[in-house]
Structure 1
Amino acid sequence: METVAFTQMKDGTKAEYEMLTQLETDFAKELPDRILKCLRDLEHSLSGYKVSRLAHSLQTACRAEDAGADEEMVVAALIHDLGDEIAPYNHSQYAASILRPYVRPEVTWVINYHGLFQNYYYVHFFGGDRNERDLYKDHPYYESCVRFCEEWDQSSFDPDYPTRPLEHFEPMLRRIFTRPAFDQKYVGDQTMGRSALDQPVA
Structure 2
Amino acid sequence: MAEGQSRATFSDMSQSTQEDWQAIMVEHVPFARGGGARVLDHLRLLAGDYGGFPVDRLTHCLQTATRAYRDGRSEDYIVMALLHDIGDTLGAYNHPEIAAAILKPFVSEELHWIVEHHGIFQGVNFFHHIGLNRDMREQFRGHEYFDATAEFIDKYDCPAFDPDYDTLPLEFFEPMVMRLFEKPLKSIYKKTEQEIAA
Confirm or deny a common fold (TM above 0.5). yes
Tell me what 1:73 maps to. 77
Amino acid at match of 1:112: E
Instruction: Number of aligned residue pairs: give it.
Output: 184
User: 1:3 Cα deviation (Å)?
Assistant: 3.1
CA distance in 1, matches of 2:28, 2:149: 33
**Deviation string for 1:32-81 (max 9, x for gaps)?**
11111111111033421121111000000011111221111100000110
Q: Does residue 133 of structure 1 match 2:134?
A: no
User: 1:180 Cα deviation (Å)?
Assistant: 3.6
CA distance in 2, matches of 1:177, 1:67: 23
CA distance in 1, matches of 2:58, 2:115: 17
Among 94, 113, 119, the alignment partner of 1:109 is: 113
Tell me what 2:194 maps to. none
Percent sequence identity is 38
Tell me what 2:11 maps to. 7
CA distance in 2, matches of 1:180, 1:91: 22
Amino acid at match of 2:80: A
Tell me what 1:154 maps to. 158
Q: Does residue 118 of structure 1 match 2:117?
A: no
Unaligned runs of 5+ in 2: 189-198
Tell me what 2:102 maps to. 98
Q: TM-score scaled by structure 1?
A: 0.87
RMSD: 1.4
CA distance in 1, matches of 2:58, 2:165: 14
Unaligned runs of 5+ in 1: 183-190, 193-202
Contact 2:33 2:183 in 1 (8 A): no
Moved more, 158-167 or 41-50: 41-50
Q: TM-score scaled by structure 2?
A: 0.88
Q: Does residue 175 of structure 1 match 2:167?
A: no
